[in-house]
Structure 1
């Protein structure tokens, strides 16, 4: 039996055909499929390219598809989800079951292997999403960079900029972030950053990459950088705690999957997160997933056929090992 898992986002979309043991038969990466960022004609084109490549790579596995699970960003609205289901159904063999859900399911299952829990995503943006054993769902945060996205790369970068302008004004402490960020933009003084930072529609992509300088400065024991990370960790901890109390009450230890570029330095953030959870009496097991999000999509597809994940699945799912098609 073969299933197709799809992880679709605002930057790229990944598809993997695999069997119930986790062995990959075909895989491909195409462009964005988030309907909030690209028009539907482009979404259909990217999906067509994805499925065509998978079929060409392994015709036999493709023709024997049982289920497609597509965890996609931008399908919160019923009409967006319906459009995605119809678009995918046209491209796969007749009779293949197609299920579309939010991409948070992929991220969660990449760490819990289909079990209930919470996933904390902290990349350019951030969101906390969870499901309990009854199928109840919840979220905290993730309302966009103008309103929320606490603990995200953008949030860290914005706080770093705030700190260097406060130092420049004489309102804040000295920080090595100033030197790093000025060098990044190849300017001499903070006011020279304004034109670049305030480019229309460019704030997230300009500011988010600055988060790496916060981690580097923290490694050098910079007081301001360490404060930024500590506060970001506490924000994340509060989101996790809030959702855990809503969904899990006192039902034992909750697995919390940490996903996204911010957690490439989870060692810096985990102490503050754990401190909040301890203070609020939330029992959680913080997990760094060993599978990519598309692996979670494959697991959900198998779950749709009542297939339990067996020992060895993770070892068999060697993402990136299959030669890509045209």
Structure 2
């Protein structure tokens, strides 16, 4: 059974065709497909490129697709799901079943392979998503960068810019972030950042990468950067706590929390803060990292939706091809 798993976000979108044993037949990656940060015309072009690449790599597998599971950021509203489904419907083989869901499902399955749990995604955007033993689903956050993106790379990058201007105004302490980010944009005056940010077509894509300078500044002992990391970690932990209380109110067993996203490449900085918060709240939660990429979780979800069962070699086989 051929399944196309798609993991779509605010920066990149990846798709793979695989089977229930984890054998991979085609892999492709394109740009952003999150409706909260990209226009529909560009989203449709990205999907056209994705499907064209997959078909060119393996026409037989593409033509005989059984199920397409697309976990896409920004599709919580029914109308948003229908938009993506309509786009994919024009590109997919006629017999393929198309399922559109939140990208949190991909990420959760990448760590639990279908078991109940919570996933904390902290990439360009952020969301806390979970499924309990009764199949109930809830999410916290992920309402888009103009409203709420706590714990995201974008938020951390924006906080870095905020710290720079507080230091410039002498409303806050000096920070090494000023030099790092000024050099990043190849400017000499921090006030030039205003025109750069406000003239950007997609400011989130401009700001999110600045988060790396916060972690670099922490490594150099910058106190402002340390406080930004502490604040981000506490907000992430708070989201996990609130989702746990809603989804697992009478739970007594340990629940896995899958940590996904670029922010956790520096797990040494964030995990101790999150663990301390959760331990102080006496919550039976275990932080884990994904076994496979989120796009592999999309394949697992597609297999489950099709009524199939993952083979014992699924994890090893799929990681041979798509491991980060």
Q: Give the TM-score taking structure 1 as reference length.
A: 0.88
For 2:168 and 2:38, how far apart are their aligned partners in 1?
40
| 1:189, distance to aligned residue in structure 2 (A) | 4.0
Residue 68 of structure 2 corresponds to: 68
Residue 155 of structure 2 corresponds to: 155
| 1:173, distance to aligned residue in structure 2 (A) | 2.5
| 1:36, distance to aligned residue in structure 2 (A) | 4.4
For 1:89 and 1:202, how far apart are their aligned partners in 2?
28
Residue 5 of structure 1 corresponds to: 5
Residue 56 of structure 1 corresponds to: 56
Correspondence 1:160-171 to 2 at 5 A: 160-171=160-171
Cα distance 1:40–1:221, how it changes in 2: closer, same or farther (>3 A)? Answer: closer
1:128-166 Cα distance to aligned partner (Å, 9 max, x none)? 111112121111122223332112112222222232333
Residue 21 of structure 2 corresponds to: 21
Q: Which moved more, 1:43-52 or 1:103-112?
A: 43-52
Gaps of 5+ in 1: 322-326
Residue 120 of structure 1 corresponds to: 120
Residue 324 of structure 1 corresponds to: none
Residue 285 of structure 2 corresponds to: 284
Correspondence 1:228-247 to 2 at 5 A: 228-247=228-247
Is 1:311 the counterpart of 2:302 in the alignment?
Answer: no
Is 1:227 the counterpart of 2:227 in the alignment?
Answer: yes
Cα distance 1:219–1:114, how it changes in 2: closer, same or farther (>3 A)? Answer: same
For 1:61 and 1:200, how far apart are their aligned partners in 2?
40
Q: Which moved more, 1:33-42 or 1:104-113?
A: 33-42
Cα distance 1:84–1:166, how it changes in 2: closer, same or farther (>3 A)? Answer: closer
For the residue of structure 2 that corresponds to 1:161, the secondary structure is: helix
Q: Which moved more, 1:15-24 or 1:206-215?
A: 206-215
Residue 183 of structure 2 corresponds to: 183
For the residue of structure 1 that corresponds to 2:191, the secondary structure is: helix
For 1:152 and 1:184, how far apart are their aligned partners in 2?
20
Cα distance 1:157–1:43, how it changes in 2: closer, same or farther (>3 A)? Answer: closer
Cα distance 1:2–1:245, how it changes in 2: closer, same or farther (>3 A)? Answer: same
| Matched positions, count | 322
Residue 172 of structure 1 corresponds to: 172
| 1:200, distance to aligned residue in structure 2 (A) | 5.6
